[in-house]
Amino acid sequence: METLAEKLEKGYIWLSVFVLLAFVAALTYSSVVLAIVVPGNDGQIVPKPGETLFAAVSRTKPFDQPGVRQTGPGTYDVVILGQAWMFNPGAIELPVGAEVTFLGTSIDIDHGLYIPGTTVNIMLLPGQVAKQKYRFTRPGEYRMICHEYCGMLHHQMTGTLTVK
């Protein structure tokens, strides 16, 4: 005959198993159905001895010319730099249905690139190349927001992405 303590112990074990399965289901749902992925580290920009990170990023393609580039029919690369307290470029225009690959880095401190209403959420770390894809299916004006505290003017670090 089971004691009350044994019944409670089994109950807690089953509760723990249930919670673990719920977390696995939530992760599976978010990655498969919502297509949320963790942006990866797609490279690193390393300054030469005596060179600043700004100089290293400025000589490294494609970061030497931030902006929008069409790479094929309906596909675009958006090369973006985070720097105190602005995005470069600060305004981006894309057509509806564009499949966009964001390539980003920071030239000074940690920044973030978050576009509300989308799954675009990238950490812009100094010298680290971050990459994330997204398809813009709805026209409108989207805000680009820095989501990583970067100093006293962090609240003003915004930009716009217009989809026409």
Backbone torsions φ then ψ of 163, nearest 5 degrees = -110, 120
pLDDT, mean of residues 40-47: 76
Alpha carbon distance 10, 62 (integer Å): 58
pLDDT band at 8 (very low <50, low <70, confident <90, very high): very high
pLDDT over threshold 60, residue 100 = yes
Ordered DSSP codes for 5-46: HHHHHHHHHHHHHHHHHHHHHHHHHHHHTS---PPEEEEE--
* Angstrom distance (rounded) from CA 135 to CA 75: 9
Backbone conformation region of residue 15, classed left if phi is above 0, alpha if psi is from -120 to 50, else beta: alpha
Q: In this structure, what token pair is assigned to residue 83?
A: 């720097």
Q: How far apart are CA 80 and CA 103, in angstroms?
A: 6
- Spatial distance between the Cα atoms of 131 and 125, rounded to a whole number of angstroms: 12
What is the distance, to the nearest Å, from the Cα of residue 115 to the centroid of all Cα atoms in its chain? 9
Q: Give pLDDT, residue 116.
A: 93
104-155, pLDDT tens digit by residue?
999 999 999 999 989 899 999 998 999 999 999 999 999 999 999 988 999 8
Q: What is the mean pLDDT of residues 9-18?
A: 94
pLDDT at 56 over 80: yes
How confident is the model over 60-95, as pLDDT tens digits?
899 999 999 999 999 999 999 999 899 999 999 999
- Contact (CB, 8 A) for 118 and 134: yes
32 pLDDT band, cuts 50/70/90, is confident
Q: Would you call 156 helix, strand, or coil by DSSP?
A: helix
Residue type, 59: R
Sorting pLDDT into bands at 50, 70 and 90, what band is 11? very high
Residue 39 predicted with pLDDT over 60: no
The predicted structure's pLDDT at residue 102 = 94
